[in-house]
Structure 1
Amino acid sequence: MRIFRFSLLTLCLLLSSIISFTLYAANDWYRPPVAVSWYWQLNGTVNENHDVDLYNIDLFDSSAELIQRLQASDKKVICYFSAGSYEDWRPDADQFAEKDMGKTLSGWDNERWLDIRSTMVHQVLLRRLDLAVEKGCSGVALGEVDSYRTNTGFYFRQDDQLRFNHIMAEEAHQRGLAIGLVINADQVRELVDYFDFALNEQCFEYSQCSSYGAFIKNEKPVLNAEYRRIYVDDKEERNSMCQNALTLQFSSILLSKKLDGSLYKPCR
């Protein structure tokens, strides 16, 4: 029988690492406040000059140097990626198995739904969380996390989606990352305790904003992007929408639907 002997120093270092990691994972990640100011751009050269608290940018297309510059200017950086769909242009696209890819997303021929129950899918996504840490992101925002309501080519239950979202939130927090729930209005109440903020598109246009009130009640921000041209062209319409946003304590902004930086008007 082999006997393994560890020096006292080695044992102390090991215990210290475990304790430090546990405390870090339990407590130390960015928690954005209600009414945080923010900017969202996923396409084109990122405009670094907006006076906001938080930037939401693409995980893969944003360099560590860009993220460091934003952080150095006292901005938090949220890194966005799709957690529920396969995108064939991503550098890790070859890590997904064909059996885990379902139907094509409507309007996106090079994007397919993923089987969120698959351990192999989880492993790829966890590596993306590791990449977010490596690049210096303050947190992540995960797209396509409500696929259970869609004809994906797989048979998902509501509980499958909740389980997947719980896993991603817990894994993000273990890495010291904040995590945002992107466009999943129907499961807000079940997920609000796991996520640090919500990000939604067009909740005023589609009358869905009330679904996100649970985040505000839990002192977590709701980041809202609106794209209707009338909000840009008609000052009265814009002021009305923005007043509603301020009443709800939402962080609402007007953007181009291309998310390319060509339009940015905050409600503040």
Structure 2
Amino acid sequence: MVAALSVAGTAGAQTAEVAPPFVTTPPEVVERMLALAETRGDDVVMDLGSGDGRIVIAAAKQYGARGIGVELDPKLVAAARENAQAAGVAQQTRFLNGDVLKADLSGASVVTAYLLPWLMDALQPKFLAELAPGTRIVSHAFAMSGWEPDATREFPLSGEHAGRTATLYFWVVPAEVRGEWYAAQPEGEWRLEIRQNFQQIEVEGAVGDVPLRTSGAVLRGTHIGWQGEGEGEGGTGRFEGRVLTFQIVGTLTANGASRSIVFARRP
């Protein structure tokens, strides 16, 4: 949340071997990061490079969320724990001394970061492997190569930072949907092929022997949807659903009527 990590040696190193310089995140940026993440009381907010603990503490104090900070500098970890105690949120927060690339991210529903670009890129596969679909990620100042943000916010800073601007990048971890799916329906078997690049998807397929054309396909976390057009009534309408481990469960709405459809992965 507040530390811009650097490393000893080359910028391509995969671990931060020495404590990085500490660069604080302005309070207004902290507030906007948590707001952009749509932080709620049932969230677990994990701040990578947590410095003095301000994002974790703000999440606990302002939203009632639980928070975890990961910081390489043990002195900053100690300071963060003291700050949490002083703010009255010590029971809702934990601060861990360690390398963000080795941290267990799996329990987080919101991840915040203020890390250098190479480290954000190094974390990208870890985000996709360890974070559940629907987890929100907010980065201050730096994006990730190849993974287009779901939203970007730029705004002027005030006070001692007046004259500068801050940029925030927001992602929602997408469910894995690429591949072939099928569903048995009265009009014939639905067969879908979904191509995926992070949250960007294309849906093609057929209903029985009739090709299915789609537009407006969206994937946000576990939510998936598309507009289908087929010859006759098969496939025509708006599908909205949720991705489970081996199924897509949703509703097709057309001509004012709705019906449930359950897709399974093709073995």
What TM-score, normalized by structure 1, do the two folds share?
A: 0.29
Greater percentage in strand: 2
Which structure has more relative contact order (CA 8 Å, sep 6+)? It is 1
Greater percentage in helix: 1
Q: Of the two, which has the highest radius of gyration?
A: 2
